[in-house]
Amino acid sequence: MGKYYRIGAAAVAWFALVLQYYLTITKPGAPFIEATVRYFGFFTILTNILVALALTLPSPIGLASQKRA
Look at the pTM and tell me if it is higher than 0.85. Answer: no
Per-residue pLDDT tens for 30-41?
899 999 999 999
Task: Write down the pLDDT at residue 60.
Answer: 66
Is it the case that residue 12 has pLDDT exceeding 70?
yes
- Residues of the chain with pLDDT > 90, as a percent, come to 65
Q: Render the chain in DSSP notation, one character per residue.
A: -HHHHHHHHHHHHHHHHHHHHHHHHTSTTS-HHHHHHHHHT-HHHHHHHHHHHHHHSPPHHHHHHHHH-
Is it the case that residue 68 has pLDDT exceeding 80?
no
Task: Write down the pLDDT at residue 30.
Answer: 84
